[in-house]
Amino acid sequence: MDVETNSDSGAAYHDTSVPPPQGVSQLPRNQKFNDVPQSIPKIDDNSLTNQNISNVPPSSQTSDDVSVMSQKAEDISVSGQKVQDISVSSQKVEDVSLNNTKTNDVSLNGEITEKIQAEDNNKSKTEQNGLQLDDKSVVQEEVIIQKEKEANEESSEANLRMKEDEELRKYNRKIPEERSAVKKDKIDEHFDRLPWVFGAIGRVLNLGVSYGPQFAPINIPLRRRFQTFAVLFWMSTFLFLGASSTLFLLYLFFYTKYWWVSLCYLTWFLGDRTVCNRGGRRFEWLRRWGLWKHYRDFFPIHLIKTADLDPSKNYIMGYHPHGVLSAGAFCHFATEGTDFSKRFPGFTPYLLTLEAQYILPFYREYFMSTGAVSATRESMDYLLGREGSGRALCLVVGGAKESLDCHPGSVVLHLNKRKGFCKMALRHGASLVPMFSFGENEIYDQIANPEGSFVRRFQNALQKLIGLAPCMFIGRGVFQYSLGIVPFRKPIYTVVGTPIDVPLVKNPTKEEIVGLHETYVNAVIDLYNKYKHKYSEFPECDIKIV
């Protein structure tokens, strides 16, 4: 019987009698057990032995062969067990190494993550610090810009104040001893204690012990002589031109052969009498006389602009207070003494006065040449109702009656019954502009005339008769400072307020007129209270509306 021999194991298997053990595959020749693949399943020793014993068929094989075969089979199973143990161990080692690698990777990843987080934190902190620095720099820049703006505003305001002060000093350069107002105040301390008649006589006749007529010095500068002459010319034309012209025409008509001159002028007057209600007859060359600059510098008179006016609109500019002769209003609107056309470009100024002033011969022509017109409804309708814009109508709202209450150190405005100008403003959509002239009441003294006194009753009766208020005022003379018709050298500051926009209402109701009137009166009061401490000689004086 042929036997196949395995050189490695030394075991012999018969071709038919002994099959290979169950669960063990045949291996190729010359292959070591170490080269057994790891896929060999684990064999249980007891089950394998029992299976080998049970699977042995009865044969003529000897017991020794069977034991040898079982022994070899056991060796094979042990070897497979060892190989499997080795593979499991290697697998465990590999798992451990993998676990260690993973642990190392995890630790490395943790370190990298920590580093990345640290870098991110540093970067975020840096960015936050940068943002904080940027925010701080932006805030600092804003603060610096704000401070620069405030500094620029303060410097601009300071420059404006300096310019105003320079302008005021330009026109107010006076030696205190030369000022007639200073001498007048000293004289009044003595003579104002007496009734006005005795005080006036005492000034002229030098009845005081240490006071009396104070004569002007001879060595006064020539410019001041020109200023006095300019004011004297203004006062003379107002007081004497109309009356002297009337007497002159009467004399020519009745006592000379030139009666026709008076007749020709009468014919001219009858055809021209209403021109004062139709815009007047202005001559710019007369308004721009150099004489009016000296007139301005005598007091001096200042025009204070606080707001711009729109040349595309028409304005009614209310002048307060009236004063004795409205010296400031004449300088601003009847002449170019204060350069009104330059201060308010694009405007044509008109001075509105009593219609009775345009009856006096020759004086009416002279006065209308300055741009003055009548303060009547027809005159205002003509100026405001025409096509075009840029007309500035100066209306002395208080009228002649207010001049009787113009005393130094008091401010009494007649406004409660003056609502006609508000109705005209509504009918034509003309804006209202309040103005207050500080110092207008101080350029003349006026006799005491309280309401109910004999002097006041006489003045009221004469005003109703002739239309003009007969103010009994006291000024200074040309060569002396005690008594005369020349006003005292006291500054006048005319402050132009903010305009009040008025809607166009062809037929305004009483409520609309009253509402606009209240708004205007409040604006005048606010304007006075705002600037009285800067421009008024008597800032403690309160305004009174009657």
pLDDT tens-place string over residues 526-538: 999 999 999 998 9
State the Cα–Cα distance between residues 209 and 211, nearest whole angstrom. 6
Lowest average pLDDT, out of 43-52, 247-256, 294-303, 332-341, goes to 43-52
What are the helix (H) ranges across 172-241?
A: 180-191, 196-205, 222-236
Evaluate if residue 207 carries a pLDDT over 70: no
- 212 and 224 Cβ atoms separated by less than 8 Å: no
Q: What is the pLDDT of residue 108?
A: 45
Give Cα 471 distance to the centre of its chain. 44
Q: What is the pLDDT of residue 314?
A: 95
More confident residue, 296 or 148: 296
Lowest average pLDDT, out of 197-201, 269-273, 317-321, goes to 197-201
**What value does the mean pLDDT of the chain take?**
76
For the residues 197-221, what does the mean pLDDT come to?
62
Lowest average pLDDT, out of 191-200, 362-371, 390-399, goes to 191-200
Tell me the one-letter amino acid at 493.
Answer: Y
Whether the ω angle into residue 311 lies within 30 degrees of 0, i.e. cis, is: no
pLDDT grade, residue 483 (50/70/90)? Answer: confident
For the residues 24-40, what does the mean pLDDT come to?
43
State the Cα–Cα distance between residues 217 and 419, nearest whole angstrom. 49
State the Cα–Cα distance between residues 205 and 203, nearest whole angstrom. 6
Lowest average pLDDT, out of 123-137, 216-230, 274-288, 357-371, goes to 123-137
State the Cα–Cα distance between residues 262 and 265, nearest whole angstrom. 5
pLDDT grade, residue 290 (50/70/90)? Answer: very high
State the Cα–Cα distance between residues 543 and 17, nearest whole angstrom. 149
State the Cα–Cα distance between residues 435 and 528, nearest whole angstrom. 9
For the residues 248-259, what does the mean pLDDT come to?
93
Evaluate if residue 9 carries a pLDDT over 50: no
Residue 463 vs residues 44, 134, 400, 458, 470: alpha-carbon distances, Å: 149, 78, 8, 9, 7
Stated as kind and residue range, the H or E segment containing 70 is helix 63-171
Evaluate if residue 12 carries a pLDDT over 60: no
Residue 281 vs residues 35, 60, 273, 286, 418: alpha-carbon distances, Å: 138, 168, 12, 11, 28
Whether the ω angle into residue 300 lies within 30 degrees of 0, i.e. cis, is: yes
State the Cα–Cα distance between residues 433 and 447, nearest whole angstrom. 32
State the Cα–Cα distance between residues 27 and 33, nearest whole angstrom. 9
In 3D space, the residue among 408, 426, 450, 428 whose CA is nearest the CA of residue 538 turns out to be: 408
Q: What is the pLDDT of residue 445?
A: 87
Residue 349 forms beta bridges with which residues? 392
More confident residue, 393 or 93: 393
Q: What is the pLDDT of residue 229?
A: 94
* Residue 351: partners with Cβ closer than 8 Å, 6 or more residues away: 329, 330, 333, 334, 370, 371, 372, 373, 394
State the Cα–Cα distance between residues 298 and 173, nearest whole angstrom. 11
Kind of pairing, strands 492-496 and 391-396? unpaired
- Per-residue H/E/C for 348-406: EEEEEECHHHHCCCCHHHHHHHCCEEECCHHHHHHHHHCCCCCEEEEEECCHHHHHCCC
State the Cα–Cα distance between residues 393 and 418, nearest whole angstrom. 16
455-463 contact pairs (CB < 8 A, 24+): 456/404, 459/404, 460/404, 463/400, 463/401, 463/404
Residue 473 forms beta bridges with which residues? 446
In 3D space, the residue among 227, 192, 166, 217 whose CA is nearest the CA of residue 489 turns out to be: 227
Q: How many residues does the chain have?
A: 546
Q: What is the pLDDT of residue 218?
A: 75
Residue-wise DSSP of 121-146: HHHHHHHHHHHHHHHHHHHHHHHHHH
Q: What is the pLDDT of residue 27?
A: 45
Q: What is the pLDDT of residue 421?
A: 94
In 3D space, the residue among 235, 234, 232, 259 whose CA is nearest the CA of residue 248 turns out to be: 259
In 3D space, the residue among 445, 168, 478 whose CA is nearest the CA of residue 296 turns out to be: 168
Q: Name the percent of the chain lying above pLDDT 70.
A: 64
Take residue 331 and report the two structure tokens written for it.
Answer: 């300088």
Evaluate if residue 352 carries a pLDDT over 60: yes
For the residues 313-338, what does the mean pLDDT come to?
94
More confident residue, 20 or 371: 371
Angle between helices 510-535 and 420-428 (to 10 degrees): 110
pLDDT grade, residue 482 (50/70/90)? Answer: confident
Give Cα 545 distance to the centre of its chain. 31
- 199 and 211 Cβ atoms separated by less than 8 Å: no
State the Cα–Cα distance between residues 445 and 369, nearest whole angstrom. 30
Phi and psi, residue 319, nearest 5°: -100, 130
- 544 and 412 Cβ atoms separated by less than 8 Å: yes
pLDDT grade, residue 449 (50/70/90)? Answer: confident
pLDDT grade, residue 98 (50/70/90)? Answer: very low
334-337 contact pairs (CB < 8 A, 24+): 334/287, 334/367, 334/370, 334/371, 334/372, 335/287, 335/288, 335/289, 335/292, 335/295, 335/370, 336/287, 336/288, 336/292, 337/292, 337/293, 337/295, 337/296, 337/301
Residue 158 vs residues 153, 162, 495, 535: alpha-carbon distances, Å: 8, 6, 19, 18
Q: What is the pLDDT of residue 67?
A: 46
Q: What is the pLDDT of residue 93?
A: 40
pLDDT in tens, 392-420: 999 999 988 899 899 888 999 999 999 99
Bin 346: left if φ > 0, else alpha if -120 < ψ < 50, else beta: left
For the residues 28-32, what does the mean pLDDT come to?
43
State the Cα–Cα distance between residues 391 and 275, nearest whole angstrom. 17
Tell me the one-letter amino acid at 221.
Answer: P
> Taking the model in full, what pTM does it have?
0.65
> CB 521: neighbour CB atoms within 10 A?
19
